[in-house]
Structure 1
Amino acid sequence: MKGAIISVIALIAIMATAEAALDCGKVDSFLVPCVPYLTAGGTPTPKCCQGVQSIKDISVTPQDKRDSCNCLKAAAQRYPTLKDEVAQALPAMCKVTLDIPISRTTNCEA
């Protein structure tokens, strides 16, 4: 009986950890409205800036920030026409303090 209880507790802990992991699909969905700005420049749309704020909101813990960073880096690499200087300016353009860089070359583990 004790073995079964321990197994259930371990399973719950594993499920909680899996759910807590940040999902790149979610980060990507927040970034999609920014693609025109990131590839052409100009001014980010309000929806893009809401996405940047949402990325900040889900990136709470140091691990969340690393995960978001890796997701943003992967997303940036998918867009060959992405302008790095524009991407790096995005949080400031949206007036969001985001301590996660948006770049193809970011070292997310540093």
Structure 2
Amino acid sequence: MKPKLFTLLLTAILVMATSQANAAIFTKTGKIVRVLSDSKKYGGCMALLDVSIGNSCPNSGWVSLDCKAVKTPAGDGNRHFASALLAASLNKQVTVYINNANKIDNYCVADRIDTIF
């Protein structure tokens, strides 16, 4: 293999590996203090946790539940929203699984939400 081609391939592999290293699925546990539904933004619905999200997501505590199925399969976001409403109404904690590679309007999207009873 020619040195220039090898260098080019190695650079491409390193760039891809670096971009994948920033993507992570992580969890946050807390109580839901607010929910919203919106017809145009945020994937249609969001939840506000009483903890910061971070990890390259806004630190506000807001996470998109993606009711419009922009980044998640159809129906998942609506189930997440229903779980968020249930947990908020019962004053229970949730664990939210967040993928910081999936963002809608700069907010990270929840892949899963568990209500802690």
Both structures adopt the same fold (TM-score exceeding 0.5)? no
Return the TM-score normalized by structure 2: 0.36
Return the TM-score normalized by structure 1: 0.38
| Higher fraction of strand | 2
